[in-house]
Amino acid sequence: MFDNLKISLDAFYQENIIGYINDLYLYPVKLIVLLLDLTIVIFLAYKFIKATRNTKVWQLLKGIILLILITAISSVLKLRIVNFLLTSLMTYGVIALIVIFQPELRRGLEQLGTNKLTKYFGMEKDLATKTKEAIYKIVIAATELAKLKTGCLIVVERDIKLADIVDTGIELNAEISPQLLVNIFVPNTPLHDGAVVIANNKVEAAACILPLAGDKDIAKELGTRHRAAIGISKESDAIAVVVSEETGKISVAKDGTLIADVTEEALKKILIRNIVTNRLETQETNRMKSLRNRMKKKKMQKKEKEMEKEEKKDTEDRP
């Protein structure tokens, strides 16, 4: 087995390494191809290690490397019986690996035709799309909690950071899912009492303590959750979604104002308009405006320099 491996490695060395060096002597432009080749190989190796680390695949890979080393040592020390057994094991081990990792291999092949492959290569969805997906999950969770008449308070961070609020709760930094949000607010569970903070499209923390609104013009029948929602929306630009455990009605607090008894569709529109459409589009508009201003400034500076050069030249040309 090792003789075949040596032949394969020697062929690889002659055809690829030596071949690349010879090509570089003849065609220096092929250095670009070599760099591209190496970049792709290193990138794939990095992604593979990152994806398999801390999994059973990684543990198995370490076992395979150890087995190869022991087999090589047995070959060098002429331990024929041990070498024969290990070589045989490695020969049939390939088939065993295919059987053991059949689900993982099938899943990997299925993802070749899906958008999950783009995530593997680091080509994530744009921020607006991911934010909309997060909003849909929040709406689903709020609607389900409303049906169950289970109280909840979800705060969505916008431009003003809520680090001080996050510090008052239990940090989660978890992916958003309707199931997680519903389970957090199940009565008599450790995290149900308090607010959930959503930041950067993740469940940043749960059981957070919010400032209560103390305005006298707030209706007395409003509970603690509604007062907390109004309070955080007054002290920051965050948007708070509240579900009443008494009525099962959904409310939204924004800029110190409570929009009561909203439907599922209305909640979705309010969140998308205030978190995605207005906010992100405004950010993009400001960014483009800033870029245009910088370009305009550079052009003006360049024009001023040219005018100074012309004036200096005219001065020098005068008798």
* Residue labelled with tokens 């070599």: 34
Other Cβ atoms less than 10 A from the Cβ of 135: the count is 24
Average pLDDT (195-200) is 95
The pair of three-digit structure tokens given for residue 143, joined into one six-digit string: 């609607």
Q: Where are the domains of the chain?
A: 2-120, 138-274
C-alpha dihedral (139, 142, 147, 153), degrees to nearest 10: -160
Mean pLDDT of the chain: 80
Asked whether residue 280 carries a pLDDT value surpassing 90, the answer given is no
Q: Using 50, 70 and 90 to split pLDDT, how confident is the model at 288?
A: low
Closest Cα partner for 177 from 139, 205, 124? 139
The CATH code belonging to domain 138-274 is 3.40.1700.10
Q: Using 50, 70 and 90 to split pLDDT, how confident is the model at 8?
A: low
Asked whether residue 13 carries a pLDDT value surpassing 80, the answer given is no
The pTM of this model reads: 0.56
Task: Please give the DSSP secondary-structure letter assigned to residue 218.
Answer: S
Asked whether residue 5 carries a pLDDT value surpassing 60, the answer given is no
* Residue labelled with tokens 């680091």: 122
> What share of the chain in percent tops pLDDT 70?
74
CA distance 222 to 249: 12
Q: Using 50, 70 and 90 to split pLDDT, how confident is the model at 6?
A: low
Asked whether residue 232 carries a pLDDT value surpassing 80, the answer given is yes
pLDDT tens digits along 61-115: 777 788 888 888 888 888 888 878 887 777 777 677 777 666 666 666 655 554 4
pLDDT tens digits along 151-185: 999 999 998 899 999 999 999 999 999 999 999 99
For residue 287, what pLDDT is reported? 66
Average pLDDT (44-56) is 74
Lowest mean pLDDT among 5-14, 37-46, 175-184: 5-14
For residue 79, what pLDDT is reported? 84
For residue 9, what pLDDT is reported? 56
For residue 122, what pLDDT is reported? 47
Query: How many Å from the N-terminal Cα to the C-terminal Cα in the chain?
Result: 91
